[in-house]
Structure 1
């Protein structure tokens, strides 16, 4: 084990966050999921409405950031829990700020296509990729 490894109290939360960042950093995956949703919704739209509201954003923002972790109110409190240091806090908060800019641009009730098509979404892709690169460094 290297000296820079940090033991976290909730490594499972870190894994969950990394999974969200992978999705948020991958424009091709997002387009594919949107296409699958649109094709499936032609067959059974009610099924998607029940459980797939804003697949790309809301799982991260509302479940993880607001409900599961309280990250939005106390980001520094995540250090030692599922984030290693202040640098990781800053990177994750940059992703959240980028998502908030998307919300400002298109609203909070927009369709997924509107989110990933707006120019501000490029900021989400970039900040998520930046965070993922740093946070995944310990897996190399």
Structure 2
């Protein structure tokens, strides 16, 4: 089994991707503010900060292989997810509420990319 140097960052990535893949979670937690077990607060902005600011995943996912990601297929999948988020942010800016983001037509591509990334990260 391939190990990564920062398993806690990988787990955070997995949590971010799970949230991005689940529209019901987004509505319940991000919009309605109903925390879930082990999650005190979550929102789209936290996912963006993790992917774009707190890690190199958005800039160069390949460089995180061995650190956060296990292989090139994971890097490709994360890159596709980042591109889908970029489309939304480039088109609508960074000032919408989570309720507004999840209603834009392009959001469905974020969800699809996140579901695909979840599968790749889980080794399916």
- TM-score in terms of structure 2 length: 0.85
| Partner of residue 96 from structure 2, selected from 92, 110, 113 | 110
Cα distance, 1:35–1:68 mapped onto 2, change above 3 Å: closer
CA distance in 2, matches of 1:121, 1:11: 28
CA drift of 1:35 comes to: 4.6
Give the number of the structure whose residues are more often helix, by fraction. Answer: 1
Give SS of 1:29's match. helix
SS in 1 for 2:57: coil
Distance in 1 between residues matched to 2:95 and 2:83, nearest whole Å = 18
Give the TM-score of the pair, scaled to structure 1: 0.76
Larger Rg: 1
1:105–1:67: structure 2 CA closer, same or farther, 3 Å change rule?
Answer: closer
Q: Does 1:9 align with 2:41?
A: no
8 Å CA contact retained: 1:106, 1:114 = no
Q: Displacement of 1:34 after TM fit?
A: 4.3
Q: Secondary structure at the match of 2:122?
A: helix
Which residue in 1 is equivalent to 2:123?
137
Runs of 5+ unmatched residues, structure 2:
35-40
The partner residue of 1:55 within 43, 50, 55 is 43
